[in-house]
Amino acid sequence: MADRVIKLQIRDMTKKYDNGDGVEHIGLDIYEGEIVTMLGPSGCGKSTILRTIGGFLDVTSGDILIDGQSVVNLPPEKRPTAMVFQSYNLWPHMTVYENLAFGLKLRKTPKKEMEERIEKHLQLVSIGGMEKKYPSQLSGGQQQRVAIARSLLLKPSVLLLDEPFSALDAKIRQQMREELKKIQSELGITVVFVTHDQEEAMALSHRIVVMNKGKFEQVGTPTEIYDNPCSKYVASFIGEMNFIERDGKSVAVRPEDVVITKEPADISGSVRTIMILGHYVEVNVQCGENVVKCYIQREESEKVNVGDQVNLKFCKTHIF
Amino acid sequence: MFKMLNPRRFYHAVGKRRFWEFIVLAAFLLFFYGPMVNMFMLAFANKYDAPSVFPQAWGFKYWRFVFSQENLVSSIGQSFLIALITMVASMLICIPAAYSIARFKYPGRKAFMLSFLLTNAFPKLGIYTSIGILFYKYNLMGTLLGVVIIHMINSMMFMVWLPSSAFRAVHRQQEEAARDVGAGPFRTFMKITFPLAMPGIAVATLYTFLGSMEEAQGTMLVGLAHIKTMPVEMFGVILDYPVQVGAVFSIILIVPSILLIFVMRKYIGPEAIAGGFKMK
């Protein structure tokens, strides 16, 4: 771990908007070849951070370094970053080829090399042979692939992705997620990813930054954040979590850590609903005012019926 | 076959609804295109006396006549020259203004846009008179520049409103993506924003050109007797020449409009025009 190279460093960065919103005292080191996800609800400042890295927003104070060089005074076109937006990435009056060639032409790339690189990158995002199409002839997923290819083509130091999949269907979103992860590990590129979808963040990232109201709540690997949320906010935002008030404190327990048992246990109640979610079953138990959600195996679920009195055992809890 | 043209038979053949629709459409067409068809007819009449419907003799006599009159021919050239200058000058002035309205938020932006309505709200003649006082002071009366300025004032509303809505329709991400891959602000505008806003700009430019081609009042007042465009000559033509000369002249005046509308037919539509009147 110690020999990892810092690719992007945000040093005590503050960005305040005129209305008082924004992010304050942000400090973060992102290492080479890492996917770091900014995760949080809309308006938490995650896009603000990404846009300051990309150069689309000025910082109020602090510094941003890429490869050890400060970039805060550079306009977007001079920064070694490439950004993929949620939508409207492509220029509809240009073909896919022209969209990809735009940046290369500015860099005076020879025509031969340009063609080769464009073809290679279209292959990489698995839409080879679409050079002559216009963006309006592509599906939403294909358009985002082109946008990703365009960004990768310029060999950026850091790839910035601003909710690139959130306008896509659930199926395509999952597929794109998997492909992005594969491409990233092949190229070893450093990625900063912004999303409000916790599942996407868990699936993609090496590290997740959970944000709330302009501040970092927790920074850690997906496992750390899932298993050891440091606050009630993080616990509720990542994954499913039951909260039970007890002695003025909140006891948090994940549905998969709840066991239904006949013996006396932590809490008891009556079964409210039983829902089959594929390979596992969700059982909701009414315990006083709380509804406790449990995920149990299919075989286990056959032993319980709606209305049954059951005891619930919490195998692993967090107390906030 | 002629039996079917009997209104009663026709009424029962197509049904009540269709019959009245047909009558309304026919009346509308007559009202709308009647004068134009009549004008086309008169342009090719060598001899025509008022009460009769059709001319007594057909031919190209008055076309030859118009093109043999030096003042009429020179007015055609003058009109095109002024329309072109007006078009280019108002593009240079209004498009940056439209872009700033579309992209930047500053106090007084809406008031600025609404102010263009004011020049159209007053009777034009009053404005021209007061402009005349200024123009005398700056020696613009009777000059080409003076006439161009008058034409630009008329087209300014369209030239700012339509392109501004077109610029607004260009998504910011599309501009940012261009900056991101390495284009500076000016290149981004020329390669991305401007081409994407082109339909709106084309329509506005077309209006400017056509508006300038048919502007008469202001040209007459400010141009004095020095600048004579086709519409200005038209006044004289109507008073001094037979009615056929007016018809021929009108057709010549219409030709560029029809050509331009044909070329830009893809861009002209209710949406493009309505888009310009949205205030945001």
Mean pLDDT of chain B: 84
Nearest CB to A89 within list B173, B182, B184: B173
Predicted complex ipTM = 0.83
Look up the CATH number of the domain holding residue B252: 1.10.3720.10
Same domain, A196 and A50: yes
Residue A240 lies in a domain: no
Same domain, A226 and A289: no
pTM: 0.78
Q: What is the DSSP letter of A5?
A: P
More confident residue, B168 or B125: B168
Same domain, B136 and B204: yes
Q: Do A89 and B192 touch (CB under 8 A)?
A: no
Q: Are A313 and A265 in contact (CB under 8 A)?
A: yes
pLDDT of residue A263: 82
| CA-based nearest residue in chain B for residue A153 | B181
Residue B267 lies in a domain: yes
On the question of pLDDT at A73 being above 80, the answer is: yes
Same domain, A113 and A205: yes
Q: What percent of chain A has pLDDT over 70?
A: 99
Same domain, A223 and A266: no
Q: Do A77 and B184 touch (CB under 8 A)?
A: yes
Same domain, A157 and A265: no
| A77: closest CA of chain B, how far (Å) | 4
Q: Do B182 and A54 touch (CB under 8 A)?
A: no
Total domain count, chain B: 2
Which residues, other chains included, contact A271 with Cβ-Cβ below 8 Å and sequence gap of 6+? A283, A284, A285, A286, A304, A305, A306, A307, A308, A310
pLDDT of residue A2: 53
Q: Do B181 and A102 touch (CB under 8 A)?
A: yes
Same domain, A18 and A61: yes
Contacts of A102 in chain B (CB under 8 A): 178, 181, 183, 191
pLDDT of residue A273: 92
pLDDT single digits (tens) A181-206: 999 999 999 999 999 999 999 999 99
With 0-12 / 13-18 / 19 or more C-beta atoms within 10 angstroms meaning exposed / middle / buried, residue B146 is buried
Same domain, A172 and A292: no
Same domain, B109 and B19: no
On the question of pLDDT at A27 being above 60, the answer is: yes
Q: How far apart are CA A223 and CA A75, in angstroms?
A: 37
| A132: closest CA of chain B, how far (Å) | 19
- The contact set of B with A (CB < 8 A) is 171, 173-174, 176-184, 187, 191-192, 195-196
Element (H, E) at A21: none
Q: Do A102 and B183 touch (CB under 8 A)?
A: yes
Identify the band that residue A48 occupies on the pLDDT scale cut at 50, 70 and 90.
very high
Q: Do A106 and B195 touch (CB under 8 A)?
A: no
On the question of pLDDT at B154 being above 50, the answer is: yes
Total domain count, chain A: 2
pLDDT single digits (tens) A301-319: 888 888 888 888 888 888 8
| A26: closest CA of chain B, how far (Å) | 23
Same domain, A78 and A219: yes
Q: Do A55 and B179 touch (CB under 8 A)?
A: yes
Q: Which domain holds residue B8?
A: 1-41
Q: Do B179 and A76 touch (CB under 8 A)?
A: yes
**What's the mean pLDDT in B220-242?**
82
**CA distances, A15 to each of A50, A196, A209 (Å):** 11, 20, 18
Q: Considering only A13-22, A57-66, B136-145, B245-254, which range has the smallest mean pLDDT?
A: B245-254
Mean pLDDT of chain A: 90
Rounded to whole angstroms, the maximal C-alpha distance in chain B is: 75
On the question of pLDDT at A135 being above 60, the answer is: yes
Nearest CB to B180 within list A82, A87, A91: A82
Q: Do A150 and B187 touch (CB under 8 A)?
A: no
Residue B23 lies in a domain: yes
Residue B264 lies in a domain: yes
Q: Which domain holds residue A287?
A: 246-319
Residue B50 lies in a domain: no
From chain A residues 144-163, the ones with a CB under 8 A of any chain B CB are 147, 150-151, 154
Same domain, A264 and A127: no
Look up the CATH number of the domain holding residue A88: 3.40.50.300
Q: Does A102 touch chain B (CB under 8 A)?
A: yes
Same domain, B129 and B21: no
Q: Do A90 and B184 touch (CB under 8 A)?
A: no
Identify the band that residue B158 occupies on the pLDDT scale cut at 50, 70 and 90.
confident
From chain A residues 20-39, the ones with a CB under 8 A of any chain B CB are none
Identify the band that residue B271 occupies on the pLDDT scale cut at 50, 70 and 90.
low
pLDDT of residue B3: 66
Contacts of B180 in chain A (CB under 8 A): 54, 76-77, 81-83, 151
pLDDT of residue B121: 77
Nearest CB to B179 within list A77, A87, A90: A77
Identify the band that residue A224 occupies on the pLDDT scale cut at 50, 70 and 90.
very high
Identify the band that residue B275 occupies on the pLDDT scale cut at 50, 70 and 90.
low
pLDDT single digits (tens) B59-118: 888 888 888 888 878 888 888 899 999 999 999 999 999 998 888 888 888 888 888 777
On the question of pLDDT at B228 being above 90, the answer is: no
Residue with tokens 């992005």: A180
Q: Do B178 and A147 touch (CB under 8 A)?
A: no
pLDDT single digits (tens) A267-313: 888 999 999 988 899 999 998 888 999 999 988 888 888 888 888 88
Q: Are A158 and A191 in contact (CB under 8 A)?
A: yes
Residue B51 lies in a domain: no
Q: Which of B105, B172, B173, B267 to mutate to test the interface with A (most CBs of A within 10 A)?
A: B173
Residue A256 lies in a domain: yes
pLDDT single digits (tens) B13-68: 778 888 888 889 989 988 888 888 888 888 888 877 777 778 777 888 888 888 88
Helix axes B16-43, B7-14, angle to 10 degrees: 130
Q: Do B196 and A85 touch (CB under 8 A)?
A: no
| A10: closest CA of chain B, how far (Å) | 20
Identify the band that residue B270 occupies on the pLDDT scale cut at 50, 70 and 90.
low
When computed from its CA atoms, the radius of gyration of chain A, rounded to whole angstroms, is 23
Look up the CATH number of the domain holding residue A271: 2.40.50.100
Two tokens at B79? 């009109």
Same domain, B130 and B88: yes
Neighbours of A129 (CB within 10 A): 10
Q: Do A107 and B182 touch (CB under 8 A)?
A: yes
Same domain, B182 and B263: yes
Q: Do B177 and A87 touch (CB under 8 A)?
A: no
* Torsion angle, alpha carbons of A155, A156, A160, A166, to 10: -10
| A308: closest CA of chain B, how far (Å) | 55
Q: Does A107 touch chain B (CB under 8 A)?
A: yes
Same domain, A281 and A215: no
Same domain, B189 and B100: yes
Q: Are A163 and A194 in contact (CB under 8 A)?
A: yes
Q: Does A135 touch chain B (CB under 8 A)?
A: no
| CA-based nearest residue in chain A for residue B170 | A88
On the question of pLDDT at B280 being above 50, the answer is: no
Q: Do A76 and B176 touch (CB under 8 A)?
A: yes
Residue B91 lies in a domain: yes
| CA-based nearest residue in chain B for residue A101 | B181
Residue A130 lies in a domain: yes
Residue B55 lies in a domain: no
pLDDT of residue A304: 86
pLDDT single digits (tens) B183-207: 999 999 999 999 998 888 888 888 8
Nearest CB to A91 within list B179, B187, B192: B192
